[in-house]
Structure 1
Amino acid sequence: MITVDDLARSLTGTVAWPGEPLYAALTAGFNAAITATPAAVVEARDAQDVVTAVRYAASTGRPIAVQATGHGLADTLDGAILVHTGRLDECVVHPDGWARVGAGVRWQQVLDAAAPHGLAPLCGSAPGVGVVGYTTGGGLGPVARTFGWASDRVRAIEIVTGDGVLRRVTATEEPDLFWGVRGGKGALGIVTALEFDLVPLPTLYAGALYFDGADADTVLHAWRSWTSSLPIEATTSLAFLQLPPLPGVPPPLAGKFTVAVRFAWTGTDAAGADTLAPMRAAATPLIDTVRTIPYAAIGSIHADPTDPMPVHEATDLLHSLPTEAADALLAAAGPSSGSPQVIVELRHLGGALASAPDHPSALCHRDAAFTLITIGVLAPPIAEAVPAHAAQVRAALSPWTTGGALPNLGASTAPDRAARSYDPPTLARLTELAERYDPANVLRAGQVPLREAA
């Protein structure tokens, strides 16, 4: 058995214990409603540190978990060994159209490195999120209907599987793992580096239209109709917002019910303006930020929060959004509903997201039409009302939901989450791979756990 002293001596990095300042810093998550309390944190400096940590966890019977930015934290990790990969910060962009990054890299670093070459990574709406967690969960970004899932652009993966072996994984080397890691989140190991393709896209015609809550009915129904015939160059989402009056929130939006229509267009600016025209005409926007932007400024489209807060999230996938579904959403979460949610969002899918990848993967639900997510702040006096209301919103939309969920949306360790994230054949194959590559079941503390503790 590897002892604690052996673990510390074998690392290039550091072990942090409860009560130490480094432990507090490394266990902090983006969701302030969850306080992580692992037995220890290994601050990895290289891939071999991850190998050592995984083998230590297996030898002591402890689960192992991984964190880089804290955005994927879904439970308290009691008794686990937490591997923190923030120091694995390699970020190299190759001008011929691909990048290699370490597990600690955030998307904004890749955006900034790729911009001088006119290249674009398929990041998400929040560039402060880590590359690895986002990509292994599929990766649904602001230009996804044009270019598809981020996980489909992966060339190679370097991963320490649950058996403590560092492996290089490609479509031809370890093909089973190449299938399972892309979409399988952290079920099969701890990724230490990713290599993935970029797309040539220096600028976007993109931004958001913000409407008064009084126009929610008109805007939602116009958006529902508009999305039914959007070309593949357009990616859009709609969100009911109740943003607090905090610094950084524009006065027309602060403390009010508003509706945001987010839009990203990968074609010519003129064609983008023509495509967006029906939504600009649906009602008078309070704010119109849609313009030509550098791709590296893609985070401005959604303007997602950047500071940790205590939140509750709930999510579903929809197979359609008919008039009746829009009316149900308005009744459950519209301006007259008394909704305590800060955000209730629909993202339009389809386009390239529905296409089969060059190399099959564990990512399921490619045929879904929309995502639904509710985000509420767990703070007095509404903390208790938020989860119950989220359940009401999901129930109101249930006639149009698929029963599925994307691995990255609505972080959860609920017992049914794996079954919602994967169809039965995919879940069976992932579970078989987990049993093969993680015989001691050390990865049971993952965000989408496939197996319970023995």
Structure 2
Amino acid sequence: MTIPTDLTGDEVLRSLRQQLGADVALPGEPGYERCLPWNVAAPVTPAAVVLPTTAEHIAETIRFAAAHGFTVTVQATGHGAVGVGAGTILVLTAAMTRCEVDATDRTAWVGAGARWQDVIDTAAPHGLAPLCGSAPGVGVVGYLTGGGIGPMVRTFGLSSDHVRAFDVVTGEGRVLRATPEENADLFWGLRGGKSTLGIVTAVQIDLLPLPEFYGGALYFDGSEAAAVLRAWRDWSASLPETVNTSIAVQQLPPLPGVPDPLAGRMTVAVRYTAVGERDAERLLAPMRAVATPILDSVGLLPYAAIGAVHADPVDPMPIYEDQALLSELPAAAIDALLVVAGPESGSPQVIVELRLLGGALTREPQYPSAFCRRDAAYALAVIGAPMPDTADMVVEHARAVTAAVAPWTTGGQMPNFAPSHEPARAARVYDPETLQRLAALADRYDPARVLATGQVVRG
């Protein structure tokens, strides 16, 4: 379709609706409000919202944007939203929720709009499970293109290492399949490179024969933070890779879904998962003995209950994140964290978490990827809720928390954590060689820079 050159901007965008045969909403029109991301703190105000049901709808949108001077970005749930401006068309993949399980091959084909809970529910009747993240409400594709650090990462490795194939639309509007044998450079870059090299429309992943696990969380009163954190540091250092754990100092608001013993107070959560470990209960015993838990949810659980381990918030909310990766966790680092995030600190953060890494994460996969930060021993995540009257304080304090452990950090970050438009962030997420390769591939697959917006790597 040829678009007349004398149309106004809105008229040009309305012509996209006719060209696509898919739902397109402009500001003020019904459906536009669907662009509000899960992280409601991110200012998402695109020129138009496209709700595709096919890969060709996305390809047409990209070709249209290239012809009319727009950029294009993609969103499924908006957990990692960083903001979208008026010069960008937002592709909202929420309707592309295909999920088909091949129980014999132990794989699933998953559409770009599917959430992990969709895959969990489809795979569970077959005794199979996807290697998902801590929050089953997160979108599958965004999580995988960022690598994927889940609650069993030490046992099974990075979630994106279990991807077999992508269907992707490039910045030239071409629909391609990427596998280790077909468009192998795309396959490399889509695992860790976020949407730098295209908009993924579907992904094929391995499923694990994992109907259940031993896990959950122990919750202690915030007054026990020093004892619990110090004990967790010593205890976690020698765990086998069949066991995963993290610890979080939490200040959960009294909202629906937050258990009464945890709401409106500081608590400390010790998260725990164990797979194929006969001594799983015994291994956890030292942490149960540190203090009396106010809540103990650890036991033998179906994999479908994996979200209960971290119990991440479900409803949309404002979020500000910071992250640091640590090469070691000496006692001095725990003491430094207690000063800025412990019970006497006045911390405004909702969660300050330390996650044990290592194990299978450190091993290079059969097919290399753009994910770079496999060597970190621990990850520190700081998550706050920046309300209008506290936003500056939350941001500044988050920086103070990561600064407190600076002597032990690697200087790196992971693609799915602490999303930001900050230009220097890419150098924290990727090493120089990976940055250069991603930028060169982006120039090849998106020469008009249609996708050069959001968290992408460009030269």
Q: TM-score range by the shorter chain?
A: over 0.9
**TM-superposed deviation, 1:77:** 2.8
Contact kept, 8 Å, 1:245 with 1:255, in 2: the verdict is yes
Match of 2:36 in 1: 28
Contact kept, 8 Å, 2:222 with 2:267, in 1: the verdict is yes
Match of 1:174 in 2: 183
Match of 1:45 in 2: 53
- Residue 218 to residue 10, structure 1, CA distance change in 2 (3 Å): same
SS at match of 1:205: strand
The separation in 2 between residues aligned to 1:176 and 1:248, in whole angstroms, is: 43
Given the alignment, which residue of 358, 366, 369 partners 2:366?
358
Can you give the 5+ residue segments of structure 1 that lack an aligned partner in the other structure?
none
Match of 1:160 in 2: 169
Match of 2:233 in 1: 224
The separation in 1 between residues aligned to 2:165 and 2:306, in whole angstroms, is: 25
| Amino acid in the other structure paired with 2:295 | I
Contact kept, 8 Å, 1:413 with 1:449, in 2: the verdict is no
The separation in 1 between residues aligned to 2:75 and 2:442, in whole angstroms, is: 20
**TM-superposed deviation, 1:248:** 2.2
Q: Report 1:72-83 matches (<5 A).
A: 72-83=80-91
**TM-superposed deviation, 1:227:** 1.4
**TM-superposed deviation, 1:78:** 2.7
Given the alignment, which residue of 323, 334, 341 partners 1:326?
334
**TM-superposed deviation, 1:378:** 1.3
Q: Report 1:136-151 matches (<5 A).
A: 136-151=145-160
Match of 2:199 in 1: 190
Match of 1:404 in 2: 412
Contact kept, 8 Å, 1:37 with 1:79, in 2: the verdict is no
Contact kept, 8 Å, 1:65 with 1:77, in 2: the verdict is no
User: Normalising by structure 1, what TM-score?
Assistant: 0.97
Given the alignment, which residue of 375, 381, 394 partners 1:367?
375
Aligned residue pair count: 449
| Amino acid in the other structure paired with 1:174 | N
The separation in 2 between residues aligned to 1:42 and 1:349, in whole angstroms, is: 38
The separation in 1 between residues aligned to 2:209 and 2:142, in whole angstroms, is: 23
Contact kept, 8 Å, 1:2 with 1:56, in 2: the verdict is no
The separation in 2 between residues aligned to 1:120 and 1:280, in whole angstroms, is: 28
Match of 1:301 in 2: 309
| Amino acid in the other structure paired with 1:245 | P
**TM-superposed deviation, 1:2:** 5.6
Pair 1:211-2:220 in alignment: yes
Contact kept, 8 Å, 2:193 with 2:456, in 1: the verdict is no
Can you give the 5+ residue segments of structure 2 that lack an aligned partner in the other structure?
4-11
**TM-superposed deviation, 1:381:** 4.4
SS at match of 2:31: helix
**TM-superposed deviation, 1:380:** 5.3
User: Normalising by structure 2, what TM-score?
Assistant: 0.96
Q: Report 1:416-431 matches (<5 A).
A: 416-431=424-439
Where in structure 1 do 4 or more consecutive aligned residues deviate above 6 Å? none
Given the alignment, which residue of 444, 451, 456 partners 1:449?
456
Given the alignment, which residue of 143, 147, 154 partners 1:134?
143
Contact kept, 8 Å, 2:194 with 2:456, in 1: the verdict is no
Contact kept, 8 Å, 1:364 with 1:422, in 2: the verdict is yes
The separation in 1 between residues aligned to 2:148 and 2:351, in whole angstroms, is: 20
Match of 2:108 in 1: 99
Q: Report 1:269-280 matches (<5 A).
A: 270-280=278-288
The separation in 2 between residues aligned to 1:275 and 1:267, in whole angstroms, is: 13
Pair 1:342-2:347 in alignment: no
Q: Percent identity?
A: 57
